[in-house]
């Protein structure tokens, strides 16, 4: 790179070119422009799903996009009720409820991992904690790390 002052310094034209190029790229990335619309949110979700599906977790876009999605989800009015409800639920139970919702599972569908219907109900309502046995069974069933149910 040609420099104005020395070997390792950028000249003004090069710096302005980089800044301009970056600005143009940011304008086309959902949620990066300051537009916090639901449409932008869904576009950002689609883009991050694409990165995940194509094993692009090391892509430099992944982390800032995930952060913008998390920021949107924590502040958007349509998530306010959900966020309030999740604040009072232990992390592992929140993960389990999310999985149940995504897969369309009912409490009865978890009896083989958590025990009787009443036990499942007590766990989902926060009256009982997940045991090591429960966590291991859930981890195996859903093929996710046990830590998701511990630290969630």
Least trusted range by pLDDT, from 25-29, 41-45, 76-80: 76-80
CB 48 within 8 A of CB 66: yes
Residue 52 has what pLDDT? 87
| pTM as predicted | 0.54
Q: Tell me: the pLDDT tens digits for 55-67? A: 888 999 999 999 9
CA 143 to chain CA centroid, nearest Å: 18
User: Is residue 10 packed enough to be buried (19+ CB in 10 Å), middle (13-18) or exposed (0-12)?
Assistant: middle
Evaluate if residue 8 carries a pLDDT over 70.
no
């Amino acid at each position: 790179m040609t420099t104005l002052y020395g070997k390792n310094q950028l000249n003004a034209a090069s710096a302005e070119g980089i800044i301009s190029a970056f600005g143009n790229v940011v304008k086309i990335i959902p949620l990066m422009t300051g537009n916090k619309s639901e449409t932008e949110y869904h576009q950002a979700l689609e883009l991050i799903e694409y990165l995940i599906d194509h094993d692009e977790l090391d892509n430099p876009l992944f982390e800032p996009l995930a952060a913008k999605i998390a920021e949107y989800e924590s502040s958007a009015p349509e998530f306010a009720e959900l966020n309030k409800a999740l604040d009072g639920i232990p992390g592992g139970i929140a993960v389990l409820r999310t999985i149940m919702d995504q897969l369309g599972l009912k409490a009865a569908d978890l009896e083989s991992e958590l025990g009787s219907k009443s036990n499942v109900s007590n766990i989902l309502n926060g009256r009982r904690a997940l045991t090591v046995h429960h966590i291991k069974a859930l981890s195996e069933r859903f093929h996710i790390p046990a830590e998701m149910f511990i630290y969630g």
